[in-house]
Chains A and B, each alone.
Chain A
Amino acid sequence: MTVALEAQGLGKKYGKRWALSDCTLDIPAGRVVGLVGPNGAGKTTLLNLAVGQIQPSAGSIRVLGGRPAEGPAQLAKVGYVAQDTPTYAALSVADHLKLGARLNPSWDDALARKRIERLRLDPGHKAGKLSGGQRAQLALTLGIAKRPELLILDEPVAALDPLARREFLQGLMEAAVEHSLGVVLSSHLVSDLERTCDYLIVIVESRVRVAGDVDDLLASHHRLTGPRRDPSTLPADQHIVSESHTDRQSTLIVRTDAPIHDPAWTVGQVGLEDLVLAYMSAEQARPTLEAVR
């Protein structure tokens, strides 16, 4: 199987601060990958490294087998819709398509025109006069008509209202099927990614907390509730993601591939949103663990 994105000990340092550190990933091709984490966690840094806009301070990254931005072939294979889906305010919709055609050797003009028509965008309209949702759709059109193998989008729907958000994701998913397009998109909201992604990366405070196939992640995480107990007494194969305790009760979210037999626990499923939140809150709850490791 080909690999969409492969990172080994990847890191990026700005001054003394690591914006991304020790990032090791192996993402299969043809997936819709969700990159989720709080603002400032390092999502944009990872995406900028993937498209070659910045260079790593440590480790290595390969995208579709090549070094990011290494030569025209690599640039043609990877599309990028940067944060807030930027367009040129003074240029018309038609100008954007002309620019796309000029800059991209594999530009699919028929596809671009069809999409613009279906979105009922006036080609003569200046991008600066479009609504947020329309601008996002224009940026998406440019990304799709470039006909990349992998399309990377940084927080594409963060600024959109719920309807525009849905329409954007509909267009993106449709393109993923129609053109066998691999997709990586970031968001600070799990709900945007829940239906659309089949592979998830959670990144918190510059580190990848968990990454994997969504179905596998859901199957291997469990919520355990039962009488209060010391988590260190758990079997070694049950990795604790988060824990909370009252005087009498313990609630844990654990990751394990083995079934849980301990009758003291009530075992429940963990939804994607809860799973992500568990990883996000884990760092704050147990700061010492990270220091020891």
Chain B
Amino acid sequence: MIEFHLDSDSGVSPYMQLVRQVKHALRLDLLREGEQLPTVKDVVAQLAINPNTVLKAYRELEHEGLVAPRPGLGTFVTRTLAGNSLAAHGPLRKDLERWLAKARLAGMDDESIEALFMTTFRSAGQEEIA
């Protein structure tokens, strides 16, 4: 089962952080179809947050067709986001690890690596749109 955490300095609203963490887990296959999300009570007791925040996050996920409530039981995953690309994750990760090793050899620190990755990622995204 997924365990939530909140970053209070991120500027992202708590409910959106919960939504993103579920989607993230679905993409990485850490959370699979049929599996249960923590109950509202459990999340609230763990994070000391407002119950409506959790309800709102679960409603949003339900609205996107990713989870569904089963009355009296809890909320369950109905669809995965990992899809067919999952098989490619392993090799892609290997490539990325090789690339990271090269970047370190070139003397780049964490922040420079992240900055380079993000600018490349964004400009590639823009080319696709264009």
List chain A positions with a Cβ less than 8 A from chain B: 31-32, 166, 169-174, 176-178, 194-198, 218, 269, 271
**Is B14 an interface position by the 8 A CB rule?**
yes
Which residues from 1 to 54 on chain B have a C-beta closer than 8 Å to any C-beta of chain A?
A: 6, 8, 11, 13-14, 40-41, 44-53
Which residue, A31, A170, A269, has most C-beta atoms of chain B within 10 A? A170
Asked, given contacts A174-B44, A177-B44, A271-B11, whether A195 binds B53 with beta carbons under 8 Å apart, the answer is yes
Residues of B within 8 A of A195 (CB): 6, 8, 14, 47-50, 53
Nearest CB of chain B from residue A222's CB, rounded to whole Å: 15
Contact B50 A173 (CB under 8 A): yes
The number of residues on chain B lying at the interface, defined by a beta carbon within 8 Å of a beta carbon of chain A, is 17
11 A-B residue pairs with CB within 8 Å: A31-B52, A166-B48, A170-B47, A171-B45, A173-B48, A173-B49, A173-B50, A177-B44, A195-B6, A195-B14, A195-B50
Contact of B41 among A177, A197, A198, A271 (CB under 8 A): A177
Residues of B within 8 A of A218 (CB): 13
How long is the Cα–Cα vector from A128 to B13 in the complex, in angstroms? 40
List chain B positions with a Cβ less than 8 A from chain A: 6, 8, 11, 13-14, 40-41, 44-53
Contact B51 A173 (CB under 8 A): yes
Residues of A within 8 A of B11 (CB): 269, 271
Contact B49 A176 (CB under 8 A): no
Contact B53 A170 (CB under 8 A): no
Interface of B is mostly: helix
Contact A176 B44 (CB under 8 A): yes
Contact A194 B8 (CB under 8 A): yes
Contact A169 B52 (CB under 8 A): no
A-B contact sample (19 more), CB < 8 A, given A166-B48, A194-B8, A195-B50:
A170-B44, A170-B46, A170-B48, A172-B48, A173-B48, A173-B49, A173-B50, A173-B51, A174-B44, A176-B51, A177-B40, A177-B44, A177-B51, A195-B6, A195-B47, A195-B49, A196-B48, A198-B50, A218-B13
Residues of B within 8 A of A172 (CB): 48
How long is the Cα–Cα vector from A269 to B11 in the complex, in angstroms? 9
Residues of B within 8 A of A196 (CB): 48-50
How long is the Cα–Cα vector from A18 to B91 in the complex, in angstroms? 71
Contact A173 B52 (CB under 8 A): no
Contact B45 A170 (CB under 8 A): yes
Contact B48 A197 (CB under 8 A): no
Residues of B within 8 A of A174 (CB): 41, 44-45
Q: Which A residue sits closest to B44, measured CB to CB?
A: A173
How long is the Cα–Cα vector from A197 to B49 in the complex, in angstroms? 8
How long is the Cα–Cα vector from A85 to B110 in the complex, in angstroms? 47
Q: Which B residue sits closest to A34, measured CB to CB?
A: B50
Q: Which A residue sits closest to B47, measured CB to CB?
A: A195
Q: Which A residue sits closest to B15, measured CB to CB?
A: A215
